[in-house]
Amino acid sequence: MVRVRFAPSPTGHLHVGNTRTALMNYLFARKEQGRLVVRIEDTDIERSAADYERSILDDLEWLGISWDEGPIRQTDRLPTYHTYAQDLLEKGRAYRCYCTEEELERKRKEAIRKGEPPRYDGTCRDLPPEVRKQIEGEGRPFVVRFKPFAKAIHWADTICGDFHFPHNAVDDFILLKQSGVPSYNFAAAVDDVEMGITHVIRGADHVPNTPKQIMLIEAFGRKPPQYAHHSLLVGNDRKQLSKRHGATSVRDLREMG
Ligand code: GLU
């Protein structure tokens, strides 16, 4: 059975661009007699707010975009992400990284200065076991990072056609932050497999995330869903639609009649 999801982040009101994503998922689910899951991606704790969540759900209802399951809130699912992270740690596909924010910031600036892409340099990737043990004994805070496969990533996108990313496209990105809260890419990959999502329909701004999510899902030993990345709404100037172009939230348009 077709299972799709609409996964807004409650960091603002429902935007017309995101509404289009919701509509496509809704129409596809109805056409295929599948199910639409609403997933609230609230792992950006500082920017997420319960009021925005209510407002998004309210606007969806007002538009007549109904869903079959949820809302499922990611912050209610932390133990699930921890189980997946533990599994990757045990399989050697993830590691604890003890680098401090300051160290990372210094290295990031250094890379930019040299004209290199600012990616994690792998300091904690291959720490000798004795060193790791000692650091762990000190109880230092850590993040959990992914250890990617050196593997090219390909997917046949339903809308855009073939995508190919080279073997080094995915870096050692963060799975769990120091607070134990998952990153967007990790939570999305876990949830897409856990919720049995068959088709991921979302904006093309997410294309750079897809290689990470595919590689993670493969590391879980699961099969990635079918991806479909749709175009983004633009203004008269062909730039991505934003507040500069006027009202872009459903709420504002609704209030304007
Ligand atoms: N929470 C993401 C957003 O609002 C959606 C991510 C996704 O569809 O995978 O852009």
The torsion angles phi and psi of 219, rounded to 5 degrees, stand at: -65, -30
CA of 248 to the centre of ligand 1 (A): 17
Q: pLDDT at position 243, please?
A: 82
Catalytic residue ranges = 243
**Ligand 1 lined by 38 (C-beta under 6 Å):** no
CA angle (41, 82, 147) in 5-degree steps: 95
- What pLDDT is stored for residue 118 in this prediction? 84
Residue 56 has what pLDDT? 98
- The answer, yes or no, to whether any atom of ligand 1 lies below 6 A from the CB of 206, is yes
pLDDT of residue 86: 98
Pocket test for ligand 1, best of 11, 16, 184 (most atoms within 8 A of CB): 184
Question: For residue 172, which of 121, 116, 106, 102 has the smallest C-alpha distance?
Answer: 121
* Atom in ligand 1 nearest the alpha carbon of residue 205: 10
Which atom belonging to ligand 1 lies closest to the Cα atom of 188?
9
- Pairing between β-strand 3-6 and β-strand 35-40 as defined by DSSP bridges: parallel
Say yes or no: CB of residue 39 within 6 Å of ligand 1: no
What local confidence, expressed as pLDDT, does residue 215 receive? 98
- Point out the ligand 1 atom lying closest to the alpha carbon of residue 41: 1
pLDDT at residue number 242: 85
Separation between Cα atoms, residue 127 and residue 235, nearest integer Å: 50
Structure confidence at residue 116 (pLDDT) = 86
Mean pLDDT by 10 residues, the chain (257 residues): 98 96 98 98 96 98 98 98 98 96 92 88 92 93 96 98 96 97 98 98 98 98 98 92 88 94
Q: What are phi and psi of 246, to 5 degrees?
A: 110, -160
Two tokens, residue 126: 């291959």
Number of residues assigned to the chain: 257
E strand segments, 58-207 = 69-73, 94-97, 143-146, 153-157, 161-165, 174-176, 199-203
- Give which of 24, 100, 39 is closest to 74, Cα–Cα: 39
The verdict on the CB of residue 17 being under 6 Å from ligand 1 is no
pLDDT 10s digits, 77-97: 999 999 999 999 999 999 999
Average pLDDT, the chain: 96
In short, whether 251's Cβ falls inside 6 Å of ligand 1 is: no
